[in-house]
Amino acid sequence: MAGYSHLDRPFLLGKLNSLVDFHLWPPEARVDPRRWLGNFRNDADAVYAHHLLNGFTYLSGAMTAEVFSAGFHSLSSRCAQSAADFPTAARLWRSFCDSLIITHVTGEQPNPSDSGAIFVRMMRTVVGLREEQLFPPDGALAEATATPSRPVLFVDDFVGSGNQFVDTWKRSYSIGATTTSFKALAHASPSTEFFYCPAICTAFGARNIRTKCPAVHLSPGHLLPPEYSALHPASVIWPDDMRAEGAAFIERTSRAAGIPDLGGQVDDYRGFNRLGLTLAFSHSVPDATLPLFYWEGNGWHPLVRRR
């Protein structure tokens, strides 16, 4: 592959071993780069695979907690806007934290395994808020309806398309004898504030939420620019001299692994909504991540297994 940016296997595996040594990546029993690289049988594909693996981001539990906490604590600047001095700012922030109603985002079929529930617990174990502030979505809506002066905080690990949050925002719940939604409450009670703090959020998802849920203040721990997709024309995953062919490599090798073209649905070879991400958490792999990293069919060895 003369003429292409060089990233050899020993250097890459040495780098990944260092990440394991520093506890930033788990042992090979959970993330297996050697067997994953073995999927690519010819030298031409191996060069692209090395760069794709080099661009893969794995967030350990500790890293995820730090990123998530940063997104939440950035809300303190909003509380401090009206403060004349630091003691006043600290008091306003404490009052805000103490009054929060905390809940999580759910999928189309809400269930206790939704990853957002992990982050509700994290508000207690990492941030230090009280157990009685934590609610499932219907309980949070009931509490906010009864006490509209209290702000509502949604928490989550990842926003890809933003569709799950929009669906949660619009979903109707039975509250006593009535049926309502967070969107309806925001319209009926303009004084109620709503916040959303995911650990990681794509620029696409942020735009979708801000367009469809303008009453919600979005504060992610990290905002992922479009260029972090392996399919973007200006993708940072590939060196300049490989960028034009990177998307073709992903399509070709995905087809060989048996990964389908589903028009951007879950398990589409480009990731959900064609976002083409190279990202995984210790607790989950987002649907927007390229299936090349987690696929197990057709004899394909995954880099990381989905949970």
pLDDT computed for residue 278 by the predictor: 96
Cα 165 to Cα 204: distance, rounded to the nearest angstrom = 13
Structural domain total, the chain: 2
pLDDT at 273: 96
Predicted local confidence at residue 117, as pLDDT: 80
Confidence class for position 264, pLDDT limits 50, 70, 90: very high
Contacts of 106 (CB under 8 A, 6+ apart): 114, 116, 137, 164, 168, 171
> Which is more confident, 154 or 178?
154
Q: Is the pLDDT of residue 140 over 50?
A: yes
- Same domain for 15 and 52, yes or no, is yes
28's CB contacts (< 8 A; 6+ apart) are 20, 34
Query: Taking Cα atoms as reference points, which of 28, 49, 9, 16 lies closest to residue 245?
Result: 49
Quick check: is 85 in a domain? yes
Same domain for 90 and 213, yes or no, is yes
- How far is 247 from 231, CA to CA, in rounded Å? 5
The CATH number of whichever domain residue 117 belongs to comes to 3.40.50
Locate tokens 């070709």: which residue?
252
| SS3 labels along 70-134 | HHHHCCHHHHHHHCCCHHHHHHHHHHHHHHCEEEECCCCCCCCCCCHHHHHHHHHHCCCCCHHHE
Same domain, 56 and 107: no
Q: Considering the domain boundaries, does residue 190 fall inside one?
A: yes
CB-based burial label for 22 (10 Å; 0-12, 13-18, 19+)? exposed
What confidence category does residue 100 fall into, taking pLDDT thresholds of 50, 70 and 90?
very high
Which token pair is 69?
């906490």
| 105's tokens | 């985002």
What is the pTM assigned to this prediction? 0.88
Mean pLDDT of 194-214: 97
Rounded Cα distance, 34 and 91, in Å: 52
Q: Is there a single domain that holds both residue 96 and residue 166?
A: yes
pLDDT at position 110: 60
Q: Which domain holds residue 34?
A: 9-60+229-293
Residue 161 has phi, psi (to 5 degrees) of: -80, -25
Mean local confidence (pLDDT), 153-180: 94
CA angle 290, 252, 285 (to 5 degrees): 10
Domain assignment present for residue 300? The answer is no
* pLDDT > 80? residue 303: yes
| pLDDT value for 24 | 53
Specify if 184 maps to a domain. Answer: yes
pLDDT in tens, 54-75: 899 999 888 999 999 999 999 9
| Centroid of chain to Cα 212 | 19
- Residue type for 138, please? D
Amino acid 2: pLDDT: 36
pLDDT over 50 at 1, yes or no? no
Q: What is the pLDDT of residue 33?
A: 87
The amino acid occupying position 220 is: P
Same-domain pairing of 215 and 131: yes
Compute the mean pLDDT over every residue in the chain, rounded to the nearest whole number: 88
Residue 16 has pLDDT above 70, yes or no: no
For residue 154, what are its two tokens? 């949604």
**Is residue 25 predicted with pLDDT exceeding 90?**
no
**Overall average pLDDT of the 217-237 stretch:** 96
Give 194's DSSP letter: E
DSSP 195-240: EEEEEEEEHHHHHHHHHH-TTEEE--SEEE-GGGSTTSTT-SSS-T
Q: Does 84 share its domain with 190?
A: yes
Q: Is 199 a member of any domain?
A: yes
> 262 vs 26, which has greater pLDDT?
262
Asked whether the predicted pLDDT for residue 269 surpasses 50, the reply is yes
Average pLDDT over residues 196-207: 97
**Where a domain ends, among 195, 220, 245?**
220
